[in-house]
Amino acid sequence: MTDITIYHNNRCSKSRATLALIEDKTEQLNIVNYLQTPPTLAELNHIITLLGFTSARQLMRTGEAVYKELQLKTEEDEAKLLQAMLDNPKLIERPIVLANGQARIGRPPESVLEII
C-alpha cells in the first residue's frame, strides 16, 4: 500500500472522522497538522491539480472570517488567493487526503476511501 498523507485539523469533526477511517485501513500514514505546518506553494498547487480544481478558490473555506476580512470574494488573481492560504492556513479546506497519486477532500469522510 502507498503512503497516505492527511492534511488534518484535530478540532474538525470531519477531519477526525476521516483520520479514523484511514487508520482502520493502514498504518502507513503521514499526518500533517496544516495549521502548524502549512503546505508550501508547490504543495498547494500540487493538491489543487490532483483534486482537478481550476481555481485555488475551490480549495478555500469561504465561510471563514478571514476570507471576508481579506475581501477574497472578488479576488481574481490566483497568486493572491494562494498567498492568502499560505498566510492564513485556516482558509484551506480540510481534511485533504493524498494517496496513490490522487487527492480527495474528506467531506464526507467516506469520499477518501476511493483512493486508499
**Dmax over Cα atoms in the chain, in whole Å?**
42
- Residues 2, 9, 12, 72: which is the catalytic one? 12
Q: Are residues 71 and 49 in the same domain?
A: yes
Claim to verify: residue 84 and residue 64 sit in the same structural domain: yes
Distance CA 53, CA 5 (A): 19
Looking at the structure of the chain, the number of domains it has is 2
Please check whether residue 59 is in contact with residue 35, taking contact to mean a CB–CB distance below 8 angstroms. Answer: no
pTM over 0.85: yes
Strands (E), the chain: 4-8, 29-33, 96-99, 102-105
Task: Judge if 45 and 86 occupy the same domain.
Answer: yes
Query: CB under 8 Å to 3, separation ≥6 — which residues?
Result: 28, 29, 30, 99
Residue 2 has what pLDDT? 62
* Whether residue 98 sits in one domain with residue 87: no
User: In which band, very low, low, confident or very high, does the pLDDT at 26 lie, cut at 50, 70 and 90?
Assistant: confident
Q: Which residue segment(s) compose the domain that 98 sits in?
A: 1-34+94-116
Q: What is the pLDDT of residue 112?
A: 97
Are residues 44 and 84 both part of a single domain? yes
70 shares its domain with 102: no
Q: Residue 38: is its pLDDT beyond 90?
A: yes
- The CATH number given to whatever domain includes residue 19 is 3.40.30.10
31 pLDDT above the threshold of 80? yes
**Is residue 1 predicted with pLDDT exceeding 80?**
no
Q: Are residues 44 and 28 in the same domain?
A: no
Task: Tell whether 17 and 57 lie within a shared domain.
Answer: no
pLDDT digit string, tens, across residues 87-96: 999 999 999 9
Active site residue 111: no
CA distance 36 to 33: 6
